[in-house]
Amino acid sequence: MSRWDGIDEFVAVAEAESFSKAAACLKLSTSGVSRAVAALEDRLQTRLLFRTTRKVSLTEAGRLFLVRCRNVIHERDEAIRLVGEVDGELKGELRMTCSEAYGERYIVPALSAFALAHPCLTVRLELDDAVRDLVADGFDLAIRFGRLTDSRLVARRLASRTRRLCAAPGYLAAAGAPSDLGAIAEHACVIGVADTWRFRDGGQDVVVRPQGRWWCNSGQAVLDATIAGLGLCQLPNFYVDGPIAAGRLVPLLDEHRPADEGVWAVYPHLRHLPTKVRLLVEHLEVALPATGDATF
Equal fold, 7-84 vs 92-154+261-287: no
Residue 149 has pLDDT above 70, yes or no: yes
Band of residue 292 on the pLDDT scale cut at 50, 70, 90: very low
Integer Cα distance of 28 and 6 in angstroms = 12
Question: Does the global pTM surpass 0.85?
Answer: no
pLDDT in tens, 39-90: 999 999 999 999 887 789 999 999 999 998 988 887 787 777 666 555 567 8
CATH class of 92-154+261-287: alpha beta
Residue 266 has pLDDT above 90, yes or no: yes
Distance of CA 254 to the CA centre of its chain: 28
pLDDT in tens, 267-288: 987 666 788 899 999 999 999 8
Residue 295 has pLDDT above 50, yes or no: no
Work out the percent of the chain whose per-residue pLDDT is above 90.
59
271 close to 265: Cβ distance less than 8 angstroms: no
Is residue 107 packed enough to be buried (19+ CB in 10 Å), middle (13-18) or exposed (0-12)?
A: buried
What's the CATH number for 7-84? 1.10.10.10
Helix axes 19-26, 7-16, angle to 10 degrees: 120
First to last CA, the chain: 57
Helix axes 30-44, 7-16, angle to 10 degrees: 110
What are the extents of the domains in the chain? 7-84, 92-154+261-287, 163-256
Integer Cα distance of 154 and 140 in angstroms = 11
Work out the percent of the chain whose per-residue pLDDT is above 70.
92
Domain covering 163-256: architecture: 3-Layer(aba) Sandwich (3.40)
Task: Taking residues 136-146, report their average pLDDT.
Answer: 88
pLDDT in tens, 176-234: 999 999 999 999 999 998 889 999 998 899 999 999 999 998 888 999 999 999 999 99
